[in-house]
Amino acid sequence: MTTAISETPTRPGTDVPYAARLDHVSKAFGRPGAAQQVLDDISIDVAPGEFVCLLGASGCGKSTLLNLVAGLDRSSAGTIETPGGRPALMFQEHALFPWLTAGRNIELALRMRGVARGERRERAEQLLELVRLKGAYGKRVHELSGGMRQRVAMARALAQDSNLLLMDEPFAALDAITRDVLHEELTHIWESTGVSVLFVTHNVREAVRLAQRVVLLSSRPGRIAREWQVDIPHPRRIEDADVAELSVQITEQLRGEIRRHGQH
């Protein structure tokens, strides 16, 4: 059985029951009889405007799951629905085109959406302002810091005008201070736009800092081990006592999953 991905185009903010629904999704790689099961029977709903973090040890299938939701791969079983259309995707690497300016990188996404040429620059500059890079339209990629490049990548993802943003460890390669600043920026963007976010990380504190809900995946194959609702009010800081306390609880569960599956 292969994945059925349903895409009924709607605008962000449209009254839809969920931004994404994964129903008994499994994924195996390899030929029949010698396949490696990576994901097993995953069912998750992401509500409109909800921020969900997928957390787990390396190799548990987090990125594979995100690729399935993005439509970059097909699952072996189960169904995936994204009622708002194709999700926007942001990777760990910024993947900006170095021969284009920051603004032109964003305009490329707008062009692919069919936005009229005369509107693209204004919209690109609005998105740069949203990610707090006002005035950076003409800057080349090599002129931008790592954090600035990720902000441009975020603006380009938002230019796709999807109601679901998929993020695959987008801040993992950044230093701690830059990552902390971008946590604030992402929270600001999420609250400003109402976009739903499905965010992959192996960093427990990052998950608790950002998410409304944390979903822990077990390893080999990835299954949902446990979920937590994060009721800590925003703004949150990585060093807040409430963030630290919940992070300790989740870390203990994660360690248990790692020990159970023999990961090191």
The CATH architecture that domain 4-87+164-260 belongs to is: 3-Layer(aba) Sandwich (3.40)
If residue 206 lies in a helix (H) or strand (E), which one and from where to where? Answer: helix 204-210
- In DSSP terms, 208 is beta-bridged to none
In 3D space, the residue among 168, 170, 247, 174 whose CA is nearest the CA of residue 204 turns out to be 247
Residue 262: per-residue pLDDT? 66
User: Is the pTM of the predicted complex or chain greater than 0.85?
Assistant: yes
Spatial neighbors of 87 by CB under 8 A, at least 6 apart, are 20, 69, 70, 71, 162, 164, 165, 166, 198
Structure-block tokens of residue 62: 């987090």
- Give the pLDDT score at 32: 73
DSSP alpha helix (H) spans, 113-174: 117-130, 146-158
pLDDT digits (tens, 9 = 90+) for 180-206: 999 999 999 999 999 999 999 999 999
Domain span(s) for CATH 3.40.50.300 in the chain: 4-87+164-260
CB-based contacts of 222, cutoff 8 Å, min separation 6: 38, 39, 40, 42, 56, 60, 61, 62, 64, 65
Which residue numbers in the chain have pLDDT < 70? 1-15, 262-264
